[in-house]
Amino acid sequence: MKQEELESALRQIKEIADKVLGTGNPVSKALKQSKRAAVPSNKASLPDHISALRDNDFFKQPRTITEIHEKLQLTYPCDRGRITTAMRRIIKRNELRKTSKTEDGERVDAFVS
């Protein structure tokens, strides 16, 4: 074999070994999260819409599920239950924090960035 053929074969072997062993260039957590923002608006999911609200400072003040539901109805109509589940998952990922708010003398869960 020629020197060039040997080098090419070695590169291919190294690439295969890196894929199998998971070495090489690990994908950072930030890069994985950026995929969510790269979703086109016509295919955006509920968490994408909630993240957009967060990016637009909607959650600067504590917001209840009802307030979030009302705001999302314009762009992404869905049930309140879906928003509750999505918020639970977003809190688990530490993208928003859960707090409480008093409405009509009653303590209600609220979400803030």
pLDDT at residue 62 is higher than 90: yes
The DSSP secondary-structure symbol of 18 reads H
Contact, 79 vs 65, CB < 8 A? no
pTM equals: 0.61
Mean pLDDT of 61-67: 93
Domain assignments of the chain as residue spans, ordered by start: 1-38, 40-113
Instruction: Give the per-residue pLDDT at 31.
Output: 45
Q: How far apart are CA 79 and CA 84, in angstroms?
A: 9
Position 7 scores a pLDDT of 85
Quote the pLDDT of residue 69.
94
Phi, psi of 62 (to 5 degrees): -60, 130
The position carrying tokens 């924090």 is 97
> Residues 25-48: pLDDT tens digits?
555 444 444 444 444 456 688 999
Pick the CATH number of 40-113 from 3.30.390.30, 3.40.440.10, 1.10.10.10, 1.20.1250.20: 1.10.10.10
| 84-108 confidence digits (pLDDT tens) | 999 999 999 999 999 999 988 999 9
In the 3-class helix/strand/coil scheme, how is 46-79 assigned residue by residue?
HHHHHHHHHHCCHHHCCECHHHHHHHHCCCCCCC
Position 12 confidence tier, pLDDT thresholds 50, 70, 90: confident
